[in-house]
Chains A and B, each alone.
Chain A
Amino acid sequence: MRKVAVVGVGMTKFSGKQDKTTIELFAEAAIDAINESNLKPKDMQALFMGNALGDFAEGQAQPQAFAADYIGASHIPANRYENACASSSAAFRDAFMWVASGFYDIVLAGGSETAAKMGTPLATRTFAMASDSRYEYPCGITFPGVFALLTHLYAKQYGVPLEKLKQQMAQVTVNSHYYGARNPKAQFQKEITADDVLKSFMVCQPLQLYDCCPFSDGGSAIVLASEEKAKKLTNKPAYVVGVGQASAGNLLSQKEYLPRLRSRELAAKQSYDMAGLSPKDIDVVELHDCFSIATIIALESLGFFEFGKAGEAVEKGETKIGGKMPVNPSGGLKAKGHPIGATGTAQVYEIVKQLRGECGERQVEGAKIGMTDTLGGDGGTLCNVILKKGW
């Protein structure tokens, strides 16, 4: 297996409802990534695109083929990845494997989504399609609902009083907005207080509005290249040193394992083992904070904090830049935004920028190894990627 590097990254500003299409958003990010790689669209050998809901948002199926043509690369195969919120992480992982295998030298991976455009009722309905349509949706489950169920389970499992846990969760959100305010591409560039979180309206008890990420529009793209090509294209290659992906059935099939998500622990182990690294080696992580509790659950399953203790770590500032484990300096899904098909490769975008030292006020100084964590559905897909500074 060959070494593979990220040689270029691109990302649109993430936002609420805007006028561009799924294909236009993808194309803007893709052209930026290709330009940054000192390549042309004709140099791409395959295109892997994450997009979960284009059919519902715009009546657009197979956007990947149109996207390939739209950027001037209709000579290449283009495949769509639908892994709910982890769509472009799955696309990225497969792009990595095709280059690692030697079949391709240069692959474009990315994703885009226009979820904000759908409005809350339709977006809530279509997001819920990533739960079990036969055995969960008849109950009226929604994604805030899933994480609300997990919040109560977490409080009971680890003996954290709910009021205390909600304070810790509010701090997660405050941190996200703090960094979002320092990311020009973030949807929300405004700091908020814990009080703002705890006064926002109830979405699914006990999750309030500011415990939840927004519906977003946006695109992101990454160019991956073999080590040999990468060395000719850039003096700052970010090597993909570990990847992992695992699956799960509906939430209830995980029973007493909850609130942990088994797919995350399987995928994380794959990525750590492949990289020959452990959680203590990671300098910065972009993890799937679709809801404030999701950050706490992820931090534990990724091995950064003990089970039941991540909330305390957040309160102590250990997840901020300068702390033990800097989390989501981009602002995360909560403040940067969550255009679901674009989220995974936007996490890779941030990690690569962090490794290059290009993040300004939100820079994790000296970051050499970074990790991404992307969740699809209620644990159905979980992808992790570990990237290492190559210079």
Chain B
Amino acid sequence: MENKLSFKQYNEALKQNKLLGLKCKQCGTITVPPKIVCGNCASTDLDIVELSGKGKIQTFTTVFVAPEGREGECPYVIVMVELNEGPWIMGNLTGVDPNKITMEVMGKSVKMGHAVFPGDKYSSGDGARPLFSLEA
């Protein structure tokens, strides 16, 4: 069967600051990023929904040693955010000093924009990711 929400669709939407997910018609769980089944009950009966992109930081790290090709981005902050709709998502955090961030950032409310990884010789094209910033 066809994917209800493919990476390509998800990625193109994220480039427009729209975070798409899947809502299960059987159990109501929202799955993001997408899978071919509900992340909770494995049903394939899913609807595409747009999420708020808002949530709370659950954890973070600042990366000082980058993978090949991404050295120029260092240091950068990676966060895992629990979205208001329930799922967790990985993104970067902007608007903070990567050298000074502490665990106090955990639990803080964030809103979503995006940034695009242009891809490298190993990846199949580009990939957008959420770029979060702290809510005022």
B-binding residues in A (CB < 8 A):
120-122, 124-125, 128-129, 133-142, 144-145, 148-150, 152-153, 155-156, 162, 201-207, 249-253, 255-256, 258
Looking at chain A's contact residues, is the secondary structure mostly helix, strand, loop, or mixed?
Answer: helix
**Is B63 a contact of A145 with CB atoms below 8 Å?**
yes
Provide the bound-state CA to CA distance between A252 and B90, in Å.
Answer: 7
Closest to A153 in B: B59
Residues on the A chain within 8 Å of B58, using CB: 153
**Is A148 a contact of B127 with CB atoms below 8 Å?**
no
Residues in B94-136 with C-beta less than 8 Å from chain A = 101, 103, 106, 116-117, 120, 122-124, 126-129
Given known pairs A124-B66, A125-B68, the reply for A133 and B80 (CB within 8 Å) is no
Residues in B5-48 with C-beta less than 8 Å from chain A = 7, 11, 33, 35, 39
A-binding residues in B (CB < 8 A):
7, 11, 33, 35, 39, 58-71, 73, 76, 78, 80, 82, 87-92, 101, 103, 106, 116-117, 120, 122-124, 126-129
**Is B67 a contact of A142 with CB atoms below 8 Å?**
yes
Q: Which of B39, B92, B122 contacts A253 (CB 8 A)?
A: B39
Q: Which of B33, B63, B82, B101 contacts A140 (CB 8 A)?
A: B63
**Is B128 a contact of A138 with CB atoms below 8 Å?**
yes
**Is A252 a contact of B89 with CB atoms below 8 Å?**
yes
Q: Chain A nearest CB: distance from B80 CB in Å?
A: 6
**Is A140 a contact of B64 with CB atoms below 8 Å?**
no
Provide the bound-state CA to CA distance between A136 and B80, in Å.
Answer: 10
**Is A138 a contact of B65 with CB atoms below 8 Å?**
no
**Is A139 a contact of B91 with CB atoms below 8 Å?**
yes
Residues on the A chain within 8 Å of B80, using CB: 149, 251-252
Closest to A121 in B: B68
Closest to A203 in B: B65
**Is B60 a contact of A152 with CB atoms below 8 Å?**
yes
**Is B87 a contact of A204 with CB atoms below 8 Å?**
no
Residues on the A chain within 8 Å of B122, using CB: 125, 129
Q: Which of A135, A141, A152, A202 contacts B103 (CB 8 A)?
A: A152
Q: Which of B63, B73, B90, B101 contacts A251 (CB 8 A)?
A: B90
Residues on the A chain within 8 Å of B129, using CB: 138-139
Provide the bound-state CA to CA distance between A138 and B64, in Å.
Answer: 16
Q: Chain B nearest CB: distance from A53 CB in Å?
A: 12
Interface centre among A142, A250, A256, A258 (most CB of B within 10 A): A142
**Is B61 a contact of A205 with CB atoms below 8 Å?**
yes
Residues on the A chain within 8 Å of B123, using CB: 133, 137
**Is B68 a contact of A138 with CB atoms below 8 Å?**
no
**Is A135 a contact of B90 with CB atoms below 8 Å?**
yes
**Is A204 a contact of B33 with CB atoms below 8 Å?**
no
Q: Chain A nearest CB: distance from B71 CB in Å?
A: 7
Apart from A139-B78, A255-B87: 10 A-B pairs, beta carbons within 8 A: A128-B67, A139-B129, A140-B78, A142-B66, A144-B65, A145-B63, A145-B78, A156-B106, A256-B82, A256-B88
Residues on the B chain within 8 Å of A206, using CB: 61
Residues on the A chain within 8 Å of B73, using CB: 140
Residues on the B chain within 8 Å of A162, using CB: 103
Provide the bound-state CA to CA distance between A93 and B124, in Å.
Answer: 32
Provide the bound-state CA to CA distance between A122 and B70, in Å.
Answer: 11
Provide the bound-state CA to CA distance between A251 and B71, in Å.
Answer: 23
